[in-house]
Amino acid sequence: MSEDVTSSPPGGSTAPAARSGLVLSLFPGIGLLDMAFEEAGFCVVRGPDLLWGGDVRSFNPPAGKFDGVIGGPPCQSHSPLMWLNRAQGVAPKHPDMTPEYSRVVAAAQPRWFLMENSPYVPTPDVPGYTVTRNVLNNRWLGELQNRERVFCFGSADGAWLHFETSTFDAIDTEPAVLASELTKGKPLGTRQRSPRKRTLPELAELQGLPRDFLEEAPFTVEGKCRVIGNGVPLPMGRAVAAAVVRALDTSLRAERSRAAVPAKASAPLNAEA
């Protein structure tokens, strides 16, 4: 576990310096990634999402108000099927929203940003940020669900992520939870269990959620499956949030070390030899 770096304001109270600012969440959905970052101590402000009647394309954040930006644009335009359709001249049904993500980040000017998406998504290019590309599979965390995602981490000071993973992953894994699973069935893969139809409580559990998650929500069963399947598995979100905390703490330590080094005094021009 990483050590918290704290600041000491007048009065003697302390607060985790790396997590002292607001974090803007783009394309939040039902907030599974937000949940993980909130558990890690961040204060998350949710941006617009089509699920709740909002549209990020008309969203213009204030500059300099958010310490970080997180979120995952819809991944349909970067799925293997979509690439196949493009190769055959079929126009994609869903627009690529990653440029909108980059636009909002550039406008918000945060210290750092994290974009989650399909392994086929291009790395975002935001002026002023060094971006690292990080692949993480949910089963590498000791979980049953075999779900691989990419996390692009951008930082103004060149920070990078390091994930703490399990020593061993499960041999008998479950296929990734899909948003369309209850209507189109379950995907198959090697080393994975039989293709029986999974229930909504099972899907929620595979995402790291309580089996009765969204039980009182005003969605249909298919709607609940869609929003749960579109989210980042909670164990994966926790691992990513912890990695961001470590990266920010490391950057803060380096910044303080540089500030503590006194400037080298220059000799007078007329000094005698």
Residue 12 has pLDDT above 90, yes or no: no
* Amino acid 258: pLDDT: 84
* Amino acid 264: pLDDT: 57
* Amino acid 82: pLDDT: 66
* Amino acid 19: pLDDT: 59
Query: What tens digit of pLDDT does each residue of 75-94 get?
Result: 877 766 665 666 777 766 77
* Amino acid 237: pLDDT: 98
* Amino acid 182: pLDDT: 75
- What is the Cα–Cα distance from 271 to 179, expressed in whole angstroms? 75
* Amino acid 246: pLDDT: 96
Residue 268 has pLDDT above 60, yes or no: no
Residue 6 has pLDDT above 50, yes or no: no
Residue with the bigger pLDDT between 253 and 40: it is 40
The total number of residues shown for the chain amounts to 273
* Amino acid 197: pLDDT: 83
- Mean pLDDT, residues 112-117: 97
* Amino acid 33: pLDDT: 98
Query: What tens digit of pLDDT does each residue of 176-198 get?
Result: 998 888 765 555 444 455 467 89
- pLDDT bin (cut points 50, 70, 90) of residue 15 is very low
- Mean pLDDT, residues 212-221: 95
Q: Which amino acid is present at 172?
A: D
- The tokens 């636009």 sit on which residue? 103
Residues 13 and 31: beta-carbon distance below 8 Å: no
Looking at the structure, give the CATH architecture of the domain made up of residues 6-166+233-252.
Answer: 3-Layer(aba) Sandwich (3.40)
- What is the Cα–Cα distance from 136 to 18, expressed in whole angstroms? 23
- Mean pLDDT, residues 34-55: 96
* Amino acid 1: pLDDT: 37
- What is the Cα–Cα distance from 185 to 178, expressed in whole angstroms? 9
- pLDDT bin (cut points 50, 70, 90) of residue 21 is confident
- What is the Cα–Cα distance from 162 to 173, expressed in whole angstroms? 24
Residue 69 has pLDDT above 70, yes or no: yes
Q: Which amino acid is present at 87?
A: A
- Give, as one character, the DSSP assignment of residue 50: G
Query: What tens digit of pLDDT does each residue of 238-257 get?
Result: 999 999 999 999 998 888 88
* Amino acid 14: pLDDT: 35
* Amino acid 3: pLDDT: 38
Arithmetic mean of pLDDT over the chain: 84
CA nearest to 161, candidates 115, 227, 119:
115
- What is the Cα–Cα distance from 34 to 194, expressed in whole angstroms? 32
Residue 220 has pLDDT above 70, yes or no: yes
